[in-house]
Amino acid sequence: MNKINIISTITALLLMSQVSWAGEKACSDKGKKKVCPDSSNKVCEAVPVTKSVKKSAYEVECKEICIPSYTFSFSLGKLCGLKCDTKDEKNCGREGQPKKCGRVKTVKVLKKVDGKAGEKCTYEWKIRDGKGCETKKGGSAAVTPAPQPVPAATRVPAKAATKVAPQIIQPVVFRSFTVSDQ
Amino acid sequence: MKNGLWSTLVAFLGFCLPASLLAADDYTTFVNGGSVASSLDTLAAELDAQAEQIADLQSAMKTKVDSGSSGSTMKVSGRVHADYWGYPAHDLDAEALEGGNPQNKLGFRRVRFGVAGNLLGNMRYKIEMDWANPHESAFKDVYLGWRDLPLLQTLLVGNQKRPYGLDHLNSSRFNVFLERPFIIEAYNQDARRWGLVSYGVSEDQGWNWRYGLYNSRDISGSGNYVNDHGSLEFAGRLASTFWYDEASGGRGYGHFAVAGTHAEVDEGSTETRFRTRPEARTSNRWLTTDNIADATSYDMFALEGVLNFGPVQLVGEVQNAWTTLNSGQQVHTHGAYAYVSYFLTGEHMPWKRSSGTLDRIKPHEEFFMVRTADGKTARGIGAWQLAARWSTADFSDVLTIPGHSADGVIANSFTLGVNWYRTANARVQFNYIIGDIDRDGTGANVANYEIIGSRFMVDF
């Protein structure tokens, strides 16, 4: 191994150590590379949150519709612009009506209704500083207790906050979790 | 005085503006000494609800499709027609016309997707493709044009329907029967040709017309017409909606039209031939004049009429064509059809007066079958229609041409149809067809057949 090879190897090792050293600092540019901070001193922790559940349901309404009778004459045209004779209000507007009435039919109309079907407890994974997750036996000193679930739908006005005790909902459904973007 | 006025105005505005942010009931509560906190709660809840709506809207906008150029519009459309055809009864003559035992068919009749819209100014465009045969796509309406022109009204250039045969001008989305009658399809096979065509309608929509110059070759598969002979035809249609009951929303109407064409054709080319299937999906065309070697031109004249009385509709068309040969001989072919349809559920066949064609059928009650929130089963029946059609065509005169032969020259058929319109955009059709085709015009070799067909279709 000649001198040039030895110097190149040492230079490369130094650069790599610089990269790993820089990684512990804030995200920064190092030459042409983008270097991200080390996250080995952090952990992800599941935080229970309560979310409202939406559910669609069908409803059927009954609706009366007119099935007009057709006519060969153009008498119905007279209805447009017809002025009422105040002496005969009951028959006002009936002069131009066809002899055959339209039929009324009741039909079913399907409606889709979006509504809230309740609440469910799910998890969000949050990043915090520290190592280990044991909390029952004291575990790591860096461990902090997980926050209690707070219903997202419950908004407490600032002024009333002192009067209303925070509502705690225990997790009841364990179907899914989401990893929050940090 | 002035200062007093200003302070009064400011005080008034200061009072009014926050109040306007509150709902009327909350405002009343507020001015009556009610809780400000409860009003703020309501406001916060409303803001939350609005934030959710905005988020939903933003999410929906991500899937919105825009046209590629500013100032133009684009509407996406498509249709799927899934068919089943069966041949429960036929004789040996029918097998001879088919080239073997007619085989049941299951597949797609139409799979179309297209876009249409307006361009800057008064231009418009449409592109619609059909992929029912994945190995051989075909274009349908492909044109560009202008709207609101003086005199010409709408002028389109490109592939579009020739203006004769009401049953062809009607969209396959609205036609009462699965397949078009003998004479309509034979004289206007696949309907669309490359042309320069004007479309117009009178102010009161009592009259509509279309006329133009077309190339007679069907180029939907090839995309081009390559020939020194122009194969040009001038065709037109003048239609009158002589009765339209406005008051009932068009549940009663009457229509009459005359249509015709003069076509110059290249001798012996496919444009000298009229042919069609037995109003069903068979492999071969069972009715044909075959290519006429000496034909130089043909003239076609058609009459059509429609009467609609609420749920009942009567439709009829007659078409005649005279093909002129080099020798001076003229061959007369002709055909006709008539049908009656009836809605059991009371709907009617809507009519589009601007084009003189059928419009979209809207069921009074849509078909659905769901379990509602309270656990009960709910059903809607859709619209149900019965129909019966008689159809005939006679091409036997071609056999008078010296040295010319054709297999299948006189056809008659009767079709029963049931249509179930599940929604305005979805329906199921069923046809039972019984017919006969005289192969040589002598009455000695007649193909008899029965065919059933069904179609599930949607369009959007």
Tell me the nearest-neighbour CA distance from A168 into chain B, angstroms: 20
Gap between the Cα atoms of A81 and A90, Å rounded: 17
Let me know how long chain B is: 460
| pLDDT value, residue B183 | 97
Neighbours of B105 (CB within 10 A): 16
Q: Which structure tokens are listed for B172?
A: 């396959």
User: In this complex, which of A72, A77, A155 lies closest to B44 when CB atoms are compared?
Assistant: A155
pLDDT for B26 equals 54
Distance CA A149, CA B38 (A): 25
Question: Mean pLDDT over all residues of chain A?
Answer: 66
Does the distance separating the beta carbons of A71 and B252 come in below 8 Å? yes
Which of B45, B251, B368 has its CB closest to that of A110?
A: B368
Whether this prediction's pTM lies above 0.80 is answered by no
For residue range A11-36, list pLDDT tens digits in order: 666 655 554 444 444 566 667 788 88
Mean pLDDT of B345-363: 97
SS3 category, B288: strand
pLDDT for B51: 92
Closest CA to B448 of B94, B166, B188: B94
Chain B residues in contact with chain A using a Cβ-Cβ cutoff of 8 Å = 37, 40-41, 44-45, 48, 243, 245-249, 251-252, 309-310, 346, 364-366, 368, 370-373, 378-380
User: Concatenated DSSP letters for B70-127?
Assistant: TT---EEEEEEEEEEEEEEEE-HHHHHHHTSSPPPEEEEEEEEEEEEEE-STTEEEEE
Burial class of residue A97 (count of CB atoms within 10 Å of its CB; 0-12, 13-18, 19+): middle
Residue A113 touches chain B, beta carbons under 8 Å: yes
Q: Does A139 touch chain B (CB under 8 A)?
A: no
Check B380 against A108: CB less than 8 A apart: yes
State the pLDDT at residue B116. Answer: 95
Instruction: Give the closest-approach CA distance of B8 to chain A in angstroms.
Output: 30
Token pair 């030459």: residue: A31
pLDDT above 70 covers a percentage of chain B that reads: 92
Q: Compare CB distances from B37 to A71, A98, A159 and report the shortest one's residue.
A: A159
Among A59, A68, A105, the residue with its CB nearest the CB of B247 is A68
Chain B contact set for A58 (CB, 8 A): 370-373, 378
Q: Is A62 helix (H, G, I), strand (E, B) or coil?
A: strand
Rounded Cα distance, A48 and B48, in Å: 22
Higher per-residue confidence, B191 vs A131? B191
pLDDT at B141: 95
Of the candidate ranges A94-98, B147-151, B192-196, B427-431, the one whose mean pLDDT is the lowest: A94-98
Higher local confidence (pLDDT), B135 or B161? B161
Asked if B44's CB is within 8 angstroms of A157's CB, the reply is yes
- C-alpha distance across the termini of chain B, in Å: 68
User: B259: which residues sit within 8 A by CB, 6+ positions away?
Assistant: B163, B164, B165, B235, B236, B237, B238, B301, B302, B304
Find chain B residues with C-beta within 8 A of A71's C-beta: 245, 247-248, 252
pLDDT reported for residue B438:
97
In this structure, of A9-23, B176-190, B226-240, B260-274, the range with the lowest mean pLDDT score is A9-23
Among residues B157, B182, B161, the alpha carbon closest in space to that of B170 is found at: B161
Give me the percent of chain B exceeding a pLDDT of 90. Answer: 79
